[in-house]
Amino acid sequence: MGRPRAVPNSVHETLLKSVMPSGLTVWLNPKKGYCRTVGVLAAHFGSLDHEIQVGHETRRIPDGVAHFLEHKLFEDEEGDVSLRFSERGANSNAGTEFTKTSYHFSCVDRVEDNLETLLRFVLHPYFTDATVRKEQGIIEQEIRMYDDDPDWVSFNSLMQALYHRHPVRINIAGSVESIREITPELLFRCHEFFYHPANLVLAVSGGFDPDAAWDRIERVTAGLSTPAGERHRRQILDEPDSVANPRVERSFAIVRPQVCIGFKDTPLRGSPDEILRREVETQMLIDLLFSSSSPYHRELYESGIIDDSFEAAHSGEPEFAFSIIGGETDDPDRFVASVFEIIRKAIQDGLDEQGVRRIRNRWLGGFVRGFNSAEAIAGALVTAELRAITLDDMLDVMSSASRFRLEERLRNHLQESRSAVCLMRPSAPLK
């Protein structure tokens, strides 16, 4: 495509896009008057990916490889890459999710130098037996640390209750046993398979010179080979519609009981637009019923069933989707019964038209406000590219949300028969 070309959009933001000869997709969003710049380089590779192709053979990889690889890429022959960012006054970090791994930096100057560092350390891996063994010890400690976190344990327990065999039920970091199977050779193979340019997206947003940034990106990536393949296509697994275990209880070192209710959605084998619509409408529905502006939330709070720890959220991807409602409570059974009663009442009475309009306007306002944040824009551009949608698609779906469509989502998704409860009880009374 050559130099980035302007992409028209409804909010009149400066968006420039190019697909390089190597297959790397680049988005640039220069913002006049901004001091900070954020760069994000993401791979379409996450904890759900458990297989690689080696020749004509498909091989399973250990749990936690995506997360392990994220850690190891920050170390090369010169040492800790994050120190190079710090020396320039830049912040850097990374994160592994179910479906992608993202590497990012933020800075106020030397943008081109930071872009070069980001591209070089992600695209050019360095692994040795000694550094892999060292990282195994570090991640083992991280896994054990999370095992002491009641929120994390509760979430993973709920995923194992909702899903029979889908990898969403597996800890993103893997297990102590699985990471011991990881070798330098395996990491190189996974990097070659998942980190080829066509499976990566780079987005830069903030106060930078787009011409200077593009020239540096071109120079750094000039030696990259042609695409090793198309963007990774993740298969939708054969996961039963039913939940694996409708109720799980655990004792934990906490002060008050903690309860989470999960609702399992059916994978939607539709177009990217259809999947996006289901995700946004479900998130709107959860907000309408359980956010702090909902009358149901006020009733629960005033009756003492919930407190400020109460949360309700939806997570949706093409391969899975679920909603979680939970928090600390002195009466877990009453908490669970009240949530299901709210859902039954909403199904019976229907949703309030004014409430739907309020939620829709709030979402639209939040979407537009997000364009004031370089972090939000860079993250949204990466996510949209990997899911084959646009920012305008997001805006269109929010704008067209209706009471009818949200009521349909209510009936189809928040079903008690497709729910699971995870209850964490204090392991011992306080003395």
- pLDDT, tens digit, 9 for 90 and up, residues 107-145: 999 999 999 999 999 999 999 999 999 999 999 999 999
Domains of the chain: 5-221 (3.30.830.10), 247-426 (3.30.830.10)
Model pLDDT for residues 58-68, shown as the tens digit of each residue: 889 999 999 99
**Is residue 431 very low, low, confident or very high in pLDDT (cuts 50, 70, 90)?**
very low
| CA distances, 238 to each of 159, 172, 235, 242, 406 (Å) | 16, 20, 9, 12, 27
Q: pLDDT per residue over 33-82, tens digit each?
A: 999 999 999 999 999 999 988 777 888 999 999 999 999 999 999 999 99
- Please check the confidence at residue 229 and state whether its pLDDT lies above 70: no
- Residues 426/256, Cβ–Cβ less than 8 Å: yes
Query: Which of 51, 74, 35 lies closest to 205 in space, CA to CA?
Result: 35
Find the helix or strand (DSSP H, E) in which 388 lies.
Answer: none
Whether the CB-CB separation of 173 and 140 falls below 8 Å is answered with no
> Mutual orientation of helices 403-413 and 332-349 as an angle, nearest 10°?
140
Q: Is the pTM of this model over 0.75?
A: yes
Instruction: Output the six-digit token pair for 166.
Output: 């889908």
Structure confidence at residue 232 (pLDDT): 82
What is the band of 236 on the pLDDT scale with cuts at 50, 70, 90? confident
* Rounded CA separation 36/107 (Å): 5
Amino acid at 264: K
More confident residue, 21 or 414: 414
Specify the 3-state DSSP secondary structure of 181.
coil
Q: In sequence order, what DSSP letters do the residues of 45-107 get, joined into one string?
A: --TT--EEEETTEEEE--TTHHHHHHHHTTEETTEEHHHHHHHTT-EEEEEE-SS-EEEEEEE
Q: Tokens standing for 121? A: 């350390």
Q: By three-state DSSP, how is residue 113 classified? A: helix
Which residues carry out catalysis?
Answer: 70
